Amino acid sequence: MFARLLSLDLPRSRILSALLLLIALALTFAPFLLPGVKALDVAAKVLVFIALVLSFDLLLGYTGIVSFAHTMFFGIGAYGVAISMTQLGPSWGALVFGVLCALLLSLALSLLIGLFSLRVRAIFFAMITLAVASVFLTLASQLSDFTGGEDGLTFRLPAPLATSFVMFDAGLPGLFGPVTVNGRLITYYVLLIAVAVIFFAMLRIVNSPFGRVLQAIRENEFRAEALGYRVVVYRCLSNVIAAAFATLAGCLLALWLRYNGPDTSLSFEIMVDVLLIVVIGGMGTIYGAVVGSVLFVIAQSYLQDLLRLLGKAVEGMPLLPALLTPDRWMLWLGLLFVLSVYYFPTGVVGRLREAAARSRQAKQRS
């Protein structure tokens, strides 16, 4: 039953299975296990990035398409919810309307980009998507009547998702004290359920006959064309599906933040983060999006705190306090990325699977 839920795409590594189970349990019970607001924000950010990276891995890891317009669809989802809730008010109808409008716009744009751009070589397609994303970022900044411009939009959600909403006065028992069941907690579990559905849906897609064709195109598009598959059609469909899931990830981000602006969902830094996560986790592995997102977001969120503690520990020593200041966290994050690529060239998931395969082969020989 569990194997069917995973579309027969099992982790194929005991260590990876244990790691994924630990991540799933940690995300499920994060509000009850982790203290403070920051920890819950980090857990929610991990969920949003899992959904976003899953959609991008369908393009890069499974189809071999390099696109820099992916954060544009992410931003469309966030702006769809933000604009709808601002203009129509905090109602469920406005929320559904915003999500549907964002999905329709993303599907139309991704189809147009695919039809007009995917016939060209990979580097030219990447440049086209970068140009389109830049244009959309400029429009989001300039159309201040709708998007709020550089200041963005702050909005309210329906009552059950509002922070002021409290379901139980007594709260539920948590590791660090009672946990209030309020709109924030309900929103977190909405994100968790949505990301779980996206994860299993993506597993089903990449392990379907459609997904096998995408992988064949990635390996050798000329051979796939010779076998009778229309490469451009499959690439367009992959682009459309990835855009739809990225839009849903943007909607989840807006739900959690209750705010959206150009830097929040359309920044090129987000695109760089997604690329890093795909490489760290492992391209062409759905599980890599989960592992990579957790490792990257935790490092990004807590590296400054760790450097602050280490800096205090080495006070008085030459050179080390200057290197271990929180201001240099980007330097250490870059170093960690270089080391991860060097020691895990196929990503964490790929390396764990390779080690498990070697272990099985050694047992069979003996």
Give how far the C-alpha of residue 218 lies from the chain's centroid of Cα atoms, to the nearest Å: 22
The whole-angstrom distance between residue 334's C-alpha and the CA centroid of its chain comes to: 19
Number of domains in the chain: 1
In degrees, rounded to 5, the angle at the alpha carbon of residue 48 between the alpha carbons of residues 195 and 272 is 135
For residue 171, pLDDT beyond 80 = no
Do 279 and 347 form a contact (C-beta atoms < 8 A)? yes
d(CA 62, CA 285): 8
pLDDT, residue 99, reads 97
Residue of higher predicted confidence among 175 and 205: 205
Whether the pLDDT of residue 362 is over 90: the answer is no
Give bridge partners of residue 251 from the DSSP assignment.
none
Instruction: Identify the residue with better confidence: 358 or 79.
Output: 79
Q: Where residue 322 sits, what CATH number does that domain have?
A: 1.10.3470
Lowest mean pLDDT among 139-143, 154-158, 165-169, 217-221: 165-169
* Residue numbers of the domain that contains 138: 2-365
pLDDT band at 3 (very low <50, low <70, confident <90, very high): low
Model-level pTM?
0.93
- The H or E element spanning position 111 is helix 92-117
| H-helix or E-strand spanning residue 83 | helix 70-88
